[in-house]
Amino acid sequence: MKEASPAKGESLLERATARWNAFFFTEEPVYPAIYFRTFLALWTLFFFVPRLPHLRELYTERAIHVAHPWATRFGVAPELPLWAVWLGVIGLLACLVAFAAGYKARQVHLAIVLLLCYLLGYDVSTVRGYGQLAFYQWLVGYCLPYDRLRDLGGAPLRAPRWGLRLAMLLFTSVYIFSVLAKTVGGEGWFDGRTLFYTLRGHDYGSFLVSAWFPISLGVARVLGWATLASECFIGLGLWHRATRPYAVVTCVGMHVLMALSMRVSILFHLLMLGHLPLFLSPRAWERLGDKARWPRAFSGLRRIPP
């Protein structure tokens, strides 16, 4: 990997520019971009498949439909007939398969975003959380060099990593913003009340572990602080070489615990955990790309500068 590094005697601005360029424009193999293309397409496919039996309810009943705020603002809330919705969804699924396979991916990408604008924007309610994150990743994803893996000579292509960096920044910002929302914007996280009632309630809690072992307010307080610390650590720790493996373990552990104790869709956990391979080093990706070097792939996790 060729990377710009600040030289001695450079001004602050020059050094900042060099760091900026190194962070965003260092060339890397395009493996992670190809992975993310496939992952995002398959995840979106799995997001829409469970919706298929409910399209009438989700898209064609004005009585239970909350228009997207932008649609309300601009006075357009097109409500398509059911056959048109079916057409749109089938078109989307076909586009997702083509995109995952890399068939005319750039053109298909635009079609997917347009279809998602309707199918996520005019859902029964404004899509939140992981659906929203996936949509933004579809927008950011256009900046990824996912067009092809190898050049005409069969060697893996390399490209500036700025698109990938945006996808990674968006992913880690979710954890940082989530902490800010809980602590600055929300309430009941420092004394454990919010987690206590969330785990005891029937909307999201009383599920597997939280149903088998009801927790006290004291335990909820400890878990609440642990959650805040974990989210901070994931959001920041993934960016540093030394802390990256621990941040990955923390992220996996937190989502596994959430999946075992809260009624949050498994799609949410899959989406978040599916971002983690983006933080693998280029060397690890190269090893993964070369099947003969698979056993050594993850040993490169800590060796490459962030």
The C-alpha angle 210, 214, 217, rounded to 5 degrees, equals 110
Alpha-carbon span 44 to 135, nearest angstrom: 9
Binding flag, residue 94, other proteins (CB under 8 A): no
Per the CB < 8 A criterion, the answer to whether 264 and 204 are in contact is yes
Binding flag, residue 177, other proteins (CB under 8 A): yes
Per the CB < 8 A criterion, the answer to whether 168 and 175 are in contact is no
Binding flag, residue 282, other proteins (CB under 8 A): no
Burial class (CB within 10 angstroms; exposed 0-12, middle 13-18, buried 19+) of 23? middle
Among the listed residues 16, 66, 110, 256, the single contact to other proteins using CB under 8 A: 66
Among the listed residues 8, 9, 154, 203, the single contact to other proteins using CB under 8 A: 203
Q: For residue 215, what is the DSSP state?
A: P
Binding flag, residue 10, other proteins (CB under 8 A): no
Binding flag, residue 267, other proteins (CB under 8 A): yes
Binding flag, residue 191, other proteins (CB under 8 A): no
Binding flag, residue 172, other proteins (CB under 8 A): no
Smallest gap, in angstroms, from Cβ of residue 174 to other proteins?
Answer: 5
Concatenated DSSP letters of 105-141? HHHHHHHHHHHHHHHHHTSSS---HHHHHHHHHHHHG
Smallest gap, in angstroms, from Cβ of residue 267 to other proteins?
Answer: 7
Alpha-carbon span 240 to 11, nearest angstrom: 25
Binding flag, residue 79, other proteins (CB under 8 A): no
Binding flag, residue 209, other proteins (CB under 8 A): no
Per the CB < 8 A criterion, the answer to whether 27 and 158 are in contact is yes
Q: Which residues are near other proteins by CB under 8 A? A: 2-4, 21-22, 24-27, 30, 51, 53-54, 57-58, 61-64, 66, 124-125, 129, 133, 140, 143, 145, 147, 157-160, 162-163, 165-166, 169-170, 173-174, 177-178, 180-182, 184-189, 193-195, 197-198, 200-204, 207, 263-268
